[in-house]
Amino acid sequence: MPQQRPTSILVAFGGNAILKEHQRGTAEEQFANLDSALECVADLIQEGFKVIITHGNGPQVGVLMRQGEAAEDLVPPMPLDVLVAETQGQIGYMIQNSLVNIFRTRQIKRSVVSVVTQVVVNADDPAFDDPSKGVGRFYTEEEARARMADREGLVMREDAGRGWRRMVPSPEPIDVLEVEFVKGAYSGGDVVIACGGGGIPVLFRDGRYRGVEAVIDKDRASAVLAARCDVEVLLILTDVEQVYLNFNEPDQRGIDYMSVEEAMDYLQEGQFPEGSMRPKIEAAIDFLNLGGERVIITSLDKVKEAVDGRTGTHLSWA
């Protein structure tokens, strides 16, 4: 029996959709990138999908951190949770503006809304004992040690031979505080932008939610949001058309389909590097474990073909 076509999808855009490598990062560059990247969302809407969008924010947070450092003698620098909130508004506006114009050109009658999204993490998450996610710009060792001496609790380490960098925890996402609003808006046909940059990390302490200096992986937060909103398909966009075994080796081969069991085996074998494909595979497993139906991993320029089942890597239980 043919499988029923899904009607809901969460599109998790990678950073390359917003800012290309070697670009300066001007607003004009980012708008131009989004005008091109978001055409696929209009395609999905016209094919009958309800859509949620998530996105990365690494370069944009890095810029805000540098601005704060440059002006710290004049104005107090903002903590990381506030910077994530700022970039959610910044990038959310850019996506909204681009999509509204695309929809107008195509005569698509859909509202687009950005939600400043808080994502709950656990205070006992072991990530808080081992900050390992690099953020911001690179420093010399001398500069890094001087900054650590001036600021209590600041952790900086050498990062893959590129210099010293600030390290922050990357805890697992547990829930999304604004999920009921997101679910209601997208179910009604609006395109909702949420969990930008993995969401603003918050802990529940002393009867209230408080922001924390951490970074949540964008794809893993997307998995939680998609599952909580009963989305059928999680579409993770990256730089390659599909997931590969033995990537960049002579015997490299693409994977068309992966079961959860196979994905876990490949993770144990070390097939997927920590700073590359591993978080996306972990996010895929998270989503399926939480009740999602299917995950597709592909590149931005192959969305239509991947959703139609003609390319990409597809993950499911069966």
The catalytic residue positions are 15-16, 133, 218, 280
Q: How far apart are CA 28 and CA 151, in angstroms?
A: 35
Q: Which helix (H) or strand (E) holds 204?
A: strand 200-205
Cα dihedral 14→18→21→25 (10° resolution):
-140
Structure-block tokens of residue 299: 């590149």
What is residue 150's three-state secondary structure? helix
d(Cα 136, Cα 228) in Å, to the nearest integer? 31
Name the packing angle between helices 27-37 and 39-46 (round to 10°): 30
Dist CA 154 CA 224 (whole Å): 29
- Degrees, nearest 5: CA angle 137-21-220: 75
